[in-house]
Amino acid sequence: MADHYEALGVAREATPEEIKKAYRKLARELHPDVNPSADASERFKSVTHAYDVLSDPQQRQQYDMGGRGSGGGFGGANFGFGDIFETFFGGGGGGQSVGPRSRRERGQDALLRVEVSLKETIFGVSRDLEVNTAVLCETCEGSCTAPGTSPVRCDICRGSGQIQRQVRSLLGNVMTSSPCGTCRGYGNIIINPCGTCAGQGRVRAQRTISVDIPAGVETGLRLQMPAQGEVGPAGGPSGDLFLEMKVRHHDVFSRTDDDLLATVEVQMVDAILGTTVTLDGLDDKVEVNIKPGSQSGEVLTVKDRGITSLRGGGRGDLRLGIQVITPTKLSNAEQALIKQLAAARKNKAPHFAEFQQGLFAKLRDRFL
């Protein structure tokens, strides 16, 4: 059997810190994930066994006196495979799970922001979306190994994925388990990883998905699409895809709940005499009846011409705020007619009226 001090490259009088430092350096160089050669694998086992013995004061004393150390290199060590796990993956190696863990894990959820027009929110819309996500590797089909190969059982933990140690405590000797640092708790090692996915069982790719965006969506709303997110490692189940909606600004129409809001400019004579006009709505023509004597700030309601409710129950209304336009440039003939109207209504000259709070916000207040 090779000398443990020679295996680690330290002197017999080396301190525990020097032994630990030497082991960590060699573990990084010889770990199968870093150096897959057969010679490195054998040396890795040798230096790990040497460290298990020399890191435990009692076993080191027995070894220095000519003994081999107890526990076949796994019992009673203060540092070992748990430290390998910490060295490579940042963990403490103190998990309570028993048995090997699966390489298959659920994939992450994904978030995609989708912009729709205000018109598309009335009845909903179907879209084909391009998603950059993780998909199953077609070469290995999620096995993570090169075609024609398979993982081999870890000969350190013998396929259990766990390393057991006996430690002394106030209650006596206690057996503890920690993930095997060689196989990272999987119980097996991939000697020949798939060249396409580098042993991950998945690759990143552009994927097209068809989405039915329902009517009534609004900015900030998130739609959940189960199992449309990223494929998990080793071909694990996919996460969910969340679509976050953004409704584009419209220059004419705005929205409150399921109602559409718009302003209709009415000429002064049309407001006085009344008229019927046909306007271009978001989804079709809208016929609007302006009654005689209409005033700025009045709101006309066209039933069932708003947004289809996301929760069912039909459509909202189209609410039109009237804005009467006073002409600023008149022809001589127009001025003459207006003067005749003014002469006929002399008793309607301007005068003080009862104060109205928020007069200039009247139109806004009527909408809200």
Residue 44 — very low, low, confident or very high, per pLDDT cuts 50/70/90?
Answer: confident
As annotated, the binding site includes 137, 140, 154, 157, 180, 183, 194, 197
Return phi, psi of residue 285, to 5°. -70, 150
The stretch 170-186 carries a mean pLDDT of 81
Residues 6 or more apart in contact with residue 5 via CB below 8 angstroms: 11, 12, 14, 50, 54
DSSP, res 24? H
Contacts of 266 (CB under 8 A, 6+ apart): 275, 290, 294, 322, 323, 324, 325
Whole-number pLDDT of residue 155: 83
Domain boundaries in the chain?
Answer: 1-79, 102-248, 254-367
68, pLDDT greater than 50 = no
Q: 354: burial class by Cβ within 10 Å (0-12, 13-18, 19+)? A: exposed
pLDDT band at 174 (very low <50, low <70, confident <90, very high): confident
pTM, entire model:
0.61
Q: What pLDDT does residue 66 have?
A: 55
Task: Give pLDDT, residue 64.
Answer: 76
Q: Do the two domains 102-248 and 254-367 of this chain adopt the same fold?
A: yes
pLDDT category at 356 given cuts 50, 70, 90 is low
Q: Kindly report the three-state secondary structure assignment for every residue of 111-143.
A: EEEEEECCCHHHHCEEEEEEEEEEEECCCCCCC
Average pLDDT value for residue range 132-144:
94
Cβ neighbours, 10 Å, residue 22: 20
Pairwise CA distance, residues 195 & 215, whole Å: 45
pLDDT of the residue at 92: 40
What confidence score (pLDDT) does residue 98 get? 59
Q: Which tokens in the block code for residue 332?
A: 């001589």
Q: Residue 359: what pLDDT?
A: 43
Binding residues for Zn(2+): 137, 140, 154, 157, 180, 183, 194, 197
Q: Which CATH number does 102-248 carry?
A: 2.60.260.20
Of 44-53, 111-120, 245-254, 303-312, which range is least confident?
44-53
The C-alpha torsion from 209 through 210 and 214 to 218, rounded to 10°, is 40
- Convert the pLDDT of each residue in 270-279 to its tens digit: 999 999 999 9
Read off the pLDDT of each residue in 145-153 and give the average, rounded to a whole number.
92
CATH architecture of structural domain 254-367: Sandwich (2.60)
Q: Bigger pLDDT: 69 or 345?
A: 345
Do 53 and 85 touch, CB atoms closer than 8 A?
Answer: no
DSSP output for 347-368: GG--------TTGGGHHHHHH-
Residues 90-101: tens digit of each pLDDT: 444 344 445 788
Give me the helices (H) in 165-294, please: 268-273
pLDDT, one tens digit per residue, over 301-351 is 999 999 999 888 789 999 999 999 988 888 888 888 888 887 777 766 665
Tell me what pLDDT residue 250 has. Answer: 93
pLDDT tens digits for range 238-277:
999 999 999 999 999 999 999 999 999 999 889 999 999 9
Q: So what's the pLDDT on residue 300?
A: 93
- For residue 38, the model assigns a pLDDT of 74
What is the homologous superfamily of the domain 1-79 according to CATH? DnaJ domain (1.10.287.110)
Is a pLDDT exceeding 50 seen at residue 69? no
In angstroms, rounded to a whole number, what is the distance separating the alpha carbons of residues 321 and 281?
Answer: 14
